[in-house]
Structure 1
Amino acid sequence: MTMLTSFLDHLSTVPSPTPSVIRASNQSPGSGAPVWVTLLVGLAGALLASAGAFAGAWRSSRALRQNTERTLEHERTRLLNERFSTAAELLGHNEAACRLAGVHAMAGLADDWTERRQTCIDVLCAYLRMPYPRGPEEDTPADEDPNGQANREVRLTVIRTIRDHLLPATPPETTWSGYDLDFTGAVFDGGDFSNARFSGGKVRFTGATFSGGLVSFYKAAFSGGDVGFYGATFSGSEVLFRGATFSNDVVNFRGATFSSGSVNFRGATFSSGMVHFDRAAFSGGDVGFYGATLSSGKVSFYGAKFSSGTVNFDRAKFSSGTVNFDRAKFSGATVTFHTAQFDGGVVDIRDVASWSRPPSLDDGLVAAPPAGLLLPDRLPKPKP
């Protein structure tokens, strides 16, 4: 028993053998993970660090770019505002030469500043609306009225500048078609809008006065917009709408007064639109629709007063659409439809308010009116 106890005590003092560890070929010393895992983790960390650095650089670059763009835009706006102030000051200058420079400066600014183009156009239109006495007669020597001639030249330049931006050949990036033009109350003693394209936007000649000279809308096109000559006065000018085209829009001469001079729609075309002469007063001068073509749409003379002067529709072509004279008063003006052609259109003069001087029609039209000519049951004979 004593020997067994001694043997066991001896065994307990003998150290146990250390187990051998066989290191895998893909493990690194001092680590339990494979080498490829360690490399992958390191590579991912490097990539993340690079991505973070790139994102930071990109954000910094974007912030710098945005700041630069804001600075450039601010500088651009500042320079454009300075140009605007300079052009406005020139337009208000006492010297006509400076005002002419102001007209061109403002127009050039409108071309460069799309965001404020309407404002620049408004300033030029406002110049025409400013108080302006009747200009000198065309045959007045310049040395007898130098200031009047100079003022008139500036105004004609404004009109030409506006017209030049409405021509068909105007580049799209600088055209003023589609913008509003406000000539309310302006005085026109001349001006050239020939071949202008009034398409879109609002064009206002409300209460304007055409008091002398030639105002030309020769071959102008009114399409897709709203053009108003409400209450305009035609008293001495020769206003030319010869060859003009009225289509897909509304043109209003409501309440206009034609008291002297002439308004010529010779060869004009009225198609797919509405033209109002409602309650207009024809009290003198000559209004001519000679050879005009009504191919569709409507022309209304509701409540118009024909008391003096001449209104002629001679050789006009009514191929479709309607012309009506409801409640019109024929009391002295000479209104003629000689050799007019009625081929599908309608001219309605049945419901007039006064017949003291009825329109003058060819005998054949009175005896056997075509389908498109609607006459009252009893049409009095025209007075000589």
Structure 2
Amino acid sequence: MWLVVCLAVVVVCAAGVVAYWLVRRLTEPAQTLAVPDGIRLSIAILTVFGAVLAGVYAYRKQRIAEGDAHRADATQFAERYSTAAGQLGHEGSAVRLAGVYAMARLADDWVEQRQVCVDVLCAYLRMPYEGNPESDQYKRGEREVRQTIIKVIRDHLQESPGDASWSTCALDLTRAVLDGGDFSGCRFRGSVSFADADFVGELVSFDEAVFLDGSVTFHGARFGAGAVTFDDARFLGGSVSFDEARFNGSALSFGGALLGPCAVTFHRAHLSGGTTLAMDEARLCGGTVGFDHAQFENATVTFSRARLEDGSLAFRRARFTGGTLSFDHAHFSGAAVALDDAECTGGTVSFYASRFDGGDITFDYGQFTDSTVTFHHGRFNGGTVSLGHARFSGGMVSFVRAQVNGGRVALAEAQFSDANVRWGRLRPADGGSH
């Protein structure tokens, strides 16, 4: 530092001499400059140079101080991280709870390493969990710790001022055991994984959640007899996948949900044991919902009073054994609904009192054995219902009391074998074979 100061003094003095010499040379041809005036001018120039050097020195000193403060903060954050992680691994549930809150506060303060802190909380939920008090692996207070972690994550996924939101963080809950949980009102922008997770609690709620960019996956997840609700949720981007998930006696609800430009898929999912999947009063507006290759065994799937305006809803190659697929009182104005190549045995597909103003509903190449397909009290104002190449063996196909003001019902070589076909006042666009 002293060397830098000495060099600065030398430079300033040299600059002063040069400045004085330049002033003399520039002013002597025109008029003689008095010595005191020249000295004052030189002093002014030296003062400016000195101020600049002082500013540079002060700036460098500030940068050094900021670097020291940053290193001190990093050291403090590292110490807090070690303390919180140690608390999370403590035997006492009260200490673990303190660790949860400590790690959450650290994530708020330590923006550069926020994802690491969130990963630690998610990793805790991925650890083995035993909820049965009779088991040797049961830990007193463990459920409360896990519920607290979920609550902390939920609070930080909601609308938060400034940089406090965790909505862009990745949440890895792969193979986690979720004994209930509340994610209502969350905003999902990053990637979230519930892949192969076990939902063993009575209720997991995503009510009024907003799904934006990013992906949320429940691939291969297992849902027990509890309920998972997405009521009034908004799907506005990204994707939500339930591919290959298994539902056994579960209740899955999307009541009043808005399905915008988002893909929601249940490809190869398995719904059995009286599972109910309700999308009642949902609105399909540009999104896609896919159940391709899904299996429904005595399951109930309802879209009652749903509004299907745009986008697609597909059950291609799905298999229904018993159970019900209901679109009662639904309004179709532009969406495409496809049951192409679907197989239905002993089940019911109902469009009771539905209104058709546009869009296409296709059963092409589907096989319906001892099943009921009904459009009772339906109102056809537009759109197309196609039974092309479908096969109906036994059971019933009914358009009784349907109101036909427009639209088109196409059979295109549909086959009816021992099926009770009731056309009512409907006149199909082309004939089928009986």
Q: TM-score under structure 1 normalisation?
A: 0.81
Write the distance in 1 (CA, Å) between the matches of 2:100 and 2:146. Answer: 9
- Residues 1:326 and 2:338 are matched in the alignment: no
* Secondary structure of the corresponding residue to residue 251 of structure 2: strand
Write the distance in 2 (CA, Å) between the matches of 1:125 and 1:242. Answer: 25
Higher strand share: 2
Residue matched to 2:349: 360
Equivalences for 1:241-320 in 2 at 5 Å? 241-284=230-273, 285-320=275-310
Residue matched to 1:111: 108
- Residues 1:371 and 2:399 are matched in the alignment: no
Amino acid at match of 2:42: G
Amino acid at match of 1:364: F
Question: Do the aligned residues in 2 keep the contact of 1:350 with 1:376 (CA within 8 Å)?
Answer: no
The alpha-carbon distance between structure 1 residues 173 and 289, as it changes in their structure 2 partners (threshold 3 A), is same
Write the distance in 2 (CA, Å) between the matches of 1:172 and 1:192. Answer: 23
Question: Do the aligned residues in 1 keep the contact of 2:205 with 2:228 (CA within 8 Å)?
Answer: yes
Residue matched to 2:10: none
Write the distance in 1 (CA, Å) between the matches of 2:156 and 2:233. Answer: 18
Question: Do the aligned residues in 2 keep the contact of 1:349 with 1:375 (CA within 8 Å)?
Answer: no
Residue matched to 2:6: none
Write the distance in 1 (CA, Å) between the matches of 2:230 and 2:269. Answer: 17
The alpha-carbon distance between structure 1 residues 375 and 112, as it changes in their structure 2 partners (threshold 3 A), is farther
Deviations 1:76-96 (A, max 9, x none): 111111111111111111100
Write the distance in 2 (CA, Å) between the matches of 1:186 and 1:366. Answer: 47
Residue matched to 2:192: 203
Question: Do the aligned residues in 2 keep the contact of 1:250 with 1:274 (CA within 8 Å)?
Answer: yes
Question: Do the aligned residues in 2 keep the contact of 1:346 with 1:374 (CA within 8 Å)?
Answer: no
- Residues 1:36 and 2:23 are matched in the alignment: no
- Residues 1:156 and 2:147 are matched in the alignment: yes
Write the distance in 1 (CA, Å) between the matches of 2:175 and 2:137. Answer: 25
**Alignment partner for residue 45 of structure 1, among 38, 42, 56?**
42
Deviations 1:91-128 (A, max 9, x none): 11110001111111111111111111111111111111
Residue matched to 1:216: 205
Write the distance in 1 (CA, Å) between the matches of 2:55 and 2:115. Answer: 39
- Deviation larger for 230-239 or 358-367: 358-367
- Residues 1:129 and 2:118 are matched in the alignment: no
Amino acid at match of 1:46: I
- Residues 1:226 and 2:238 are matched in the alignment: no
Structure scoring higher RCO (CA < 8 A, sep ≥ 6) equals: 1
Write the distance in 2 (CA, Å) between the matches of 1:334 and 1:131. Answer: 37
The alpha-carbon distance between structure 1 residues 171 and 254, as it changes in their structure 2 partners (threshold 3 A), is same
The alpha-carbon distance between structure 1 residues 84 and 314, as it changes in their structure 2 partners (threshold 3 A), is same
- Residues 1:93 and 2:63 are matched in the alignment: no
Write the distance in 1 (CA, Å) between the matches of 2:231 and 2:379. Answer: 31
Note the C-alpha offset of 1:379.
Answer: 5.5
Note the C-alpha offset of 1:331.
Answer: 2.9
Question: Do the aligned residues in 2 keep the contact of 1:110 with 1:121 (CA within 8 Å)?
Answer: yes
Equivalences for 1:170-189 in 2 at 5 Å? 170-189=160-179
The alpha-carbon distance between structure 1 residues 304 and 376, as it changes in their structure 2 partners (threshold 3 A), is farther
Write the distance in 2 (CA, Å) between the matches of 1:372 and 1:162. Answer: 46
Deviations 1:182-206 (A, max 9, x none): 11111111101111121x2111111
Amino acid at match of 1:158: I
Q: Which structure 2 residue ranges, 5 or more long, are not aligned?
A: 1-27, 353-373, 397-418, 420-434
- Deviation larger for 116-125 or 306-315: 306-315
The alpha-carbon distance between structure 1 residues 127 and 375, as it changes in their structure 2 partners (threshold 3 A), is farther
Note the C-alpha offset of 1:243.
Answer: 1.6
Deviations 1:176-233 (A, max 9, x none): 11221111111111101111121x2111111111122211111211122211111111
Q: Which has the larger radius of gyration?
A: 1
The alpha-carbon distance between structure 1 residues 373 and 132, as it changes in their structure 2 partners (threshold 3 A), is farther
The alpha-carbon distance between structure 1 residues 45 and 222, as it changes in their structure 2 partners (threshold 3 A), is same
Question: Do the aligned residues in 1 keep the contact of 2:322 with 2:348 (CA within 8 Å)?
Answer: no
Question: Do the aligned residues in 2 keep the contact of 1:186 with 1:208 (CA within 8 Å)?
Answer: yes
Q: CA RMSD in A?
A: 2.8
Write the distance in 2 (CA, Å) between the matches of 1:36 and 1:365. Answer: 110
Equivalences for 1:133-148 in 2 at 5 Å? 133=130, 135-136=131-132, 148=139
